[in-house]
Amino acid sequence: MLIINCPYCGPRDQSEFSNGGEAHVKRPDGSKEIGDREWGEYVFIRANPKGLFYERWVHTHGCRKWFNCVRDTSTDEILVTYKLDEKKPNLNNFKSVVKTPSGEPEVGSGNFTVEK
Amino acid sequence: MTEVIRSDGIEIKKKVIQQIILRGSGDSKFNNHINKSLKLLPPSDNLRIISNDNYTLAKMSFDQWNLIFEKEIEIKKLNKILDDLNKSPLILATNISDSQVFFEIQGKNSFDILNKLTHFDFREKSFKKSTAAQTLLARVDCSIFNLDLKLLLSCNRSFADYLEDRLIDAVNY
Amino acid sequence: MKSINLKENQFIQFHQKISFKFDGVKYFGYKGDTIASALLRNNINLVGRSFKYHRPRGIYTCGIEEPNALVQIISEYSEPNTRATIKKIYEGMEIESQNRWPSLENDFGSINNLFSPIFTAGFYYKTFMGPHKKFWKNLYEPLIRRAAGLGKPPKDFKGISNHIHHNVDVTIIGGGLNGLLVAKSFINTNYDVLLIDFDDQLGGIINNSNKISLIDNKEPKDWLKETIQEIEDSKNIKILKNTLVTTYNYINHLIAIEDRFVGSKQIEGKVNSTLHKIRTGHTILCNGHIERFLSFQNNDLPGIMLSSSFEKYMCRYGLAPSKEPVIFSNNSNSNSLVFSLIKAGLKPKAYIDSRSGEEIEPNLFDLIRINDVPLYTNSQIKGAFGNKKIEKILVEDSSGALNEIKCDCLCLSGGINPDVHLFTQSKGLLDWDEKDLTYKPSKPFQPTITLGSASGQFNFDNLNSDINKKLKTFKVKQLDVKLELNTNTKYNIEKLWEVSPQKKSLWAKSFIDLQNDVTTKDIRQAITEGFDRIEHLKRYTTNSMGTDQGKISSINALGIVSDLLDKKVNEVGTTIYRPPYAPLSFSAIAGRNCYEFYDPERKSPIHSWHLKNGAIFEDVGQWKRPWYFQINKEESMHDAVQRESKNVRENAGILDGSTLGKIEIKGEDALEFMNLIYTNSFTKMKQGSARYALMLGEDGMVKDDGIICKISDQHFIATTTTGGAATVLGCMEEYAQTEWPNLKVFMNSITEQYATFNISGPNTREIMKKAFPNINFSNEEFPFMTFQFHEFNGVPIRILRASFTGELGYEIYIPSNSAPKIWDNIQSLGKEFGLAPYGTEAMHLLRAEKGYIIVGQDTDGSITPIDLGLSWMIGKSKKDFLGKRSLTRSDTIREDRKQLVGIIPSNKADKLEEGQHIILDKEIKSPVPMLGHITSCYHSSTLGHDFALAVIKNGHSMIGTKAYASTSSMSTTGVDIVKPVFYDEDNKRLVS
């Protein structure tokens, strides 16, 4: 049960929010021709990395505003939340040891119990 | 106004209170227009509540204010305020007087009993007086207004019966 | 085993006798007793039969880690698997032992013990594999099901639980020595603190043992009383007793369960358990340690228990389960038991230690020597023996000789483990301590602090420095407590996990898991078979998978495995500790969110009228909508629906449409926004007119539909389906905020602000003229698909001329508070014109006759507007709208897509059914190519036969041909594929 820091309401329980999937995915605006494949990737394909991830959330049971965050998907730690009009933070500012799909974070994944 | 329940350390009353929801950018043009109509400058800090004798204005989000008429006024007067506010293309003012039901909650055990229905942090350090919040209470979307002498809790009217039953149940169990 | 009462105990009220029944026999205990302590007082050792082998079992511990003494409380809601060591007795309690038939003494299931050589590890996986697949379902599974489990599920459960949410700065888990000292430090500071303990007395080892002789020069019980009073008097610390923290979630979110009826019978109608949901800034784990046992032959006999448990019975419950127990240990933790026995005037029958004489603490040595206790060092117990209880043990002494000692009680200590369950649940990491031979908390993941034995600190000398160091982050006073102990301050242990059996036998059992009947032999066998990874091993042998999670034994298993594999224990690892820490009832998890509170119920403004007028409701999402109205109790649903729909076509009907979503959209860029959201073009639309519109997903599939009223280019009102109201508003907000923040537009929901009356039928105009006499309803003044604002009785209303039934109709929008009166008025005025209410079922029937789709009924997220024959609704000149590009994907322009058609039975008397497949062949011969299915189906009294809407491949080009509909009895019904409109195709009734 995470605590998510809504940029407008402050830190609230996860139960008040809905997840909105990958952030910073630009919608092709129909101003130019776009092939089936490229459009299909926009509609259906989203990244799913293990590790740091830009993500959208909406405060459904609160102010109903959308915002972005950086979450470490290997530990579920939300490292920062930021408003839609703020610049997206550089991922290198955050410590995450997960480098490969099969890598595990040093601590906090819940998949192992003993210190390596 | 009807009394819902009065028990050890808590008193809950149900009321219908006139309310207008305002959407706008919150910039100086917006503020001036509101001020002209209501003689009240909208709060700029998020979740702040300010009031004068006639109106209470709560900023619920960066582009939403709830205007509450704690003292009932004539429908004609309310509609005039609505029309005045809507004259500006920068503002959407919608009458939601019929769409919500308010519960007025007082008593030293208020927060303890409400915390049987919601995870919300009512402590003074987290939820100051003259602030508002929107959250879930007994699985119903609610707005909570922390006023000086009481707590106002509002929900959509369709949920009101269920919420009332849950509030009574929380006092009893 | 002859027990003896120690009447100088402060927790047991020896003047208050309590009677209770165990397996039908009446016994006496005292107020403050648990079931276990009361049974031990009555010299009852046999309390259950083990899970697999049905071996006789007794009381092994004095706490929540109990593996065997699980009983069923008959006098309450027949709660099974209750730990006798935790549940306190009350007058008249009725208890039954579990997993035995016909009785505890003579259990038929003990025959399993005879077959035990084949019930080894992996038995289930290997055995129930044949001879044929059907054997599992029809023979093995039913048999296993009947034999499975320990207790019986309760039949008539009436327990009540509630939830309490807490928001605090610091939570201290465990109210023992460390927990109390930490709480003391926080008294009257700015931190909101919660102190939680499982017992109904705070104190931990202060109450449960004689380890401590003085605290700050005071008697422990005096210091305790003072300290507890100080904490209770503080303004910022709340104490929760009888509360067990079961779960430690991320982020610092704790679940704890409180028993509200400790020591008294649950009162029906009162809350018997509370689930606490705690959000805390910091968690301080002072939840202590758990002692572990040792494995040797028959280490499961009744009369064997842990040494600290024996001591807890003495100190906490005023009872020595035996007058002269034998003690077998490999460490210094059991020293205080020897001290306690001597202090109470008793003497151990023998003290057996696997350590050498030099390793044994001098103060223990002195105690043993002075009191003439037979001492065996460098010795091990080879086995315990007896019929349904321990009668003698075999000890191999330092010279290798075997000694037989008769005894009625054996106290074991294999070492102590910090209770790391909650710490690992918090995703903290453990580290193996090679000196203390246990896993200790190492790297935390969350704001977690561990103190005392829970942190692996077994040295009392470090108490102050540890607390002061770890509480540095808080602005609290430093501690300087003076402790004097009755025993050693330091902990010493020599490695011993299991003892090799005295003789090799198929039936010699040395247990490693007492609840699931797993032996050390099973562990060896599993490793031989290749299950040498600890997670595999656990599941293959079921070791530590019981309700006790192997609390007293799982570390031993790791030790054995590490020896077998010749690996360090750190490399072997440990399995993941999963919540809950102890069994948690579903009723506690549900709390008050059950029965009528299970889901919020939403009611329309006209709800009470519906109740009074025979409405039968259906659930549409959380809403209660009238499904149909019964004019009398005998009217069936079919008749009611036929009557209602016929009446709409012949006279007039009125439906409460308040539940449908309504959204107000306003702003300088409202027109552009609306054009982007919906498929239609609203640019050329006249002010005051309305249009039916579709909203698509970006994949081009129909997501919702509604009617859009254009007040001006900057001001619109949109309706949505009932179920889609929140989704559509959410979608609009999402795009307005994230995709097009440059557009100046706002939207508000007005679903609840207005009630909606849908009135339609040939007599509607007359009714409306009567109800709203000041409004001109002529066709010229109020054409089809236009709307007008009016005032009625001082209340602003809006009337839209539109209908979903295909008859002349209007939608009236009235502020909810004024709606019931106006509804009543229309009802009475409309009577002379045959006005009658109709429900959602009749509404579905009527719209289907016109071929109007219902999103979610005729569409399922895979249907485009073109499939529905609604290409005309797509604004061709629009550059962009949601889903536009998807309408020209290779998949969406396929010719053989499923398309909307009408279906009628070729033989008009035949019945059709929703969900039937449409196929080409009359006979069903698999494989059958399925063209599509019937999405909506009704009987029409207007048409005189059944009719349906369906989506089938190439539907549009198949109109005019014949096909078949499959039935559930594998036959087919001949059908005609027709245009999806069955009534008034030219819409004459609608627009005149």
Rounded-to-integer distance, Cα C299 and Cα C55, Å: 11
Rounded-to-integer distance, Cα A109 and Cα C445, Å: 9
Contacts of B166 in chain C (CB under 8 A): 592, 597
Residues C141 and C35 in one domain: yes
Beta strand segments in chain B, E: 2-7, 10-15, 18-23, 49-51, 56-61, 64-69, 92-95, 100-106, 131-137, 140-146, 151-156
Q: How confident is the model at residue C124 (pLDDT cuts 50, 70, 90)?
A: low
Output the pLDDT for position A100. 61
Residues C129 and C211 in one domain: no
pLDDT in tens, C199-222: 999 999 999 999 999 999 999 999
Residue C114: pLDDT above 90? no
Rounded-to-integer distance, Cα C967 and Cα C949, Å: 16
Residue C153: pLDDT above 70? yes
Residues C300 and C231 in one domain: no
Q: Mean pLDDT across chain C, nearest whole number?
A: 93
Size of interface A-B (CB pairs under 8 A): 29
Q: Containing domain of residue C72, as a range?
A: 1-154
Q: Is residue C207 part of a domain?
A: yes
Rounded-to-integer distance, Cα C620 and Cα C845, Å: 17
Q: Is residue C61 part of a domain?
A: yes
Q: Does A37 touch chain C (CB under 8 A)?
A: no
Residues C263 and C325 in one domain: no
From C575, which residue of chain A is nearest by alpha-carbon distance? Answer: A113
Size of interface A-C (CB pairs under 8 A): 90
Q: What angle do CA C631, C636, C642 make, to 5 degrees?
A: 80
Residues C731 and C821 in one domain: no
Tell me whether residues B136 and A12 touch, CB distance under 8 A. no
Check: CB of residue C603 under 8 Å from CB of residue B161.
yes
The tokens describing C187, both together, are 């008294």
Output the pLDDT for position C505. 67
Residues C204 and C108 in one domain: no
Q: Does C597 touch chain B (CB under 8 A)?
A: yes
| Residue C177 falls in which region: left (phi positive, over 0), alpha (psi -120 to 50) or beta | alpha
**Where is average pLDDT lowest: C5-14, C108-117, C719-728?**
C108-117
How many domains, in total, are found in chain C? 6
Domains of chain B: 2-15+99-172 (3.30.1360.120), 18-95 (3.30.70.1520)
Q: Is residue C540 part of a domain?
A: no
Output the pLDDT for position C112. 74
A108 vs C432, C445, C880: nearest CB: C445
Provide the residue-wise pLDDT of chain B in tens; the chain has 173 residues.
899 899 989 999 999 999 999 999 999 999 999 999 899 999 989 999 999 888 999 999 989 999 999 899 999 999 999 999 999 888 999 999 999 999 999 999 999 999 999 999 999 999 999 999 999 999 999 999 999 899 999 999 999 999 999 999 999 99
Q: Is residue C326 part of a domain?
A: yes
* Domain containing residue C361: CATH number: 3.50.50.60
Tell me whether residues A39 and C889 touch, CB distance under 8 A. yes
Q: Is residue C467 part of a domain?
A: no
pLDDT in tens, C500-546: 765 666 667 899 999 999 999 999 999 999 998 999 999 999 999 99
pTM of the model: 0.94
Q: Does A85 touch chain C (CB under 8 A)?
A: yes
Residues C125 and C181 in one domain: no
Tell me whether residues A114 and C253 touch, CB distance under 8 A. no
Tell me whether residues A107 and C574 touch, CB distance under 8 A. no
Q: Is residue C419 part of a domain?
A: no
Q: Last residue of some domain: C101, C120, C154?
A: C154
- Pairing type for strands C438-441 and C380-385 reads unpaired
**Where is average pLDDT lowest: C100-104, C694-698, C947-951?**
C100-104
Rounded-to-integer distance, Cα C202 and Cα C973, Å: 76
Longest Cα–Cα distance in chain A: 55
For residue C416, which of C483, C522, C319, C336 has the smallest C-alpha distance? C336
The b-or-e profile of C647-664 (16+ CB within 10 A means b, else e) is: bbbebbbbbbbbbbbbbb
* Domain containing residue C698: CATH number: 3.30.70.1400
Q: Which helix (H) or strand (E) holds C674?
A: helix C670-677
Tell me whether residues B133 and A9 touch, CB distance under 8 A. yes
Output the pLDDT for position C421. 96
For residue C667, which of B23, B95, B65, B61 has the smallest C-alpha distance? B23
Q: Is residue C425 part of a domain?
A: no
Q: Last residue of some domain: C275, C290, C305?
A: C290
* Domain containing residue C914: CATH number: 2.40.30.110
Tell me whether residues C277 and B119 touch, CB distance under 8 A. yes
| Non-local CB neighbours of C745 within 8 Å, separated by 6+ positions | C665, C666, C667, C668, C669, C670, C673, C736
Chains that touch A (3 or more CB pairs under 8 A): B, C
Tell me whether residues B162 and C794 touch, CB distance under 8 A. no
Residues C964 and C899 in one domain: yes
Rounded-to-integer distance, Cα A114 and Cα B107, Å: 50
Residues C632 and C765 in one domain: yes
Q: Is the ipTM of this complex over 0.90?
A: yes
Check: CB of residue A73 under 8 Å from CB of residue A47.
no
Domains of chain A: 3-27+37-93 (3.30.2270.10)
Residues C143 and C44 in one domain: yes
Rounded-to-integer distance, Cα C887 and Cα C901, Å: 20
Output the pLDDT for position B90. 87
Higher model confidence: residue C408 or residue C78?
C408
Longest Cα–Cα distance in chain C: 117
Provide the shortest C-alpha distance from residue C817 to chain B (in Å): 6
Residues C297 and C402 in one domain: yes
Residues C137 and C15 in one domain: yes
Q: Last residue of some domain: C120, C154, C188?
A: C154
Q: Is residue C881 part of a domain?
A: no
Output the pLDDT for position A99. 60
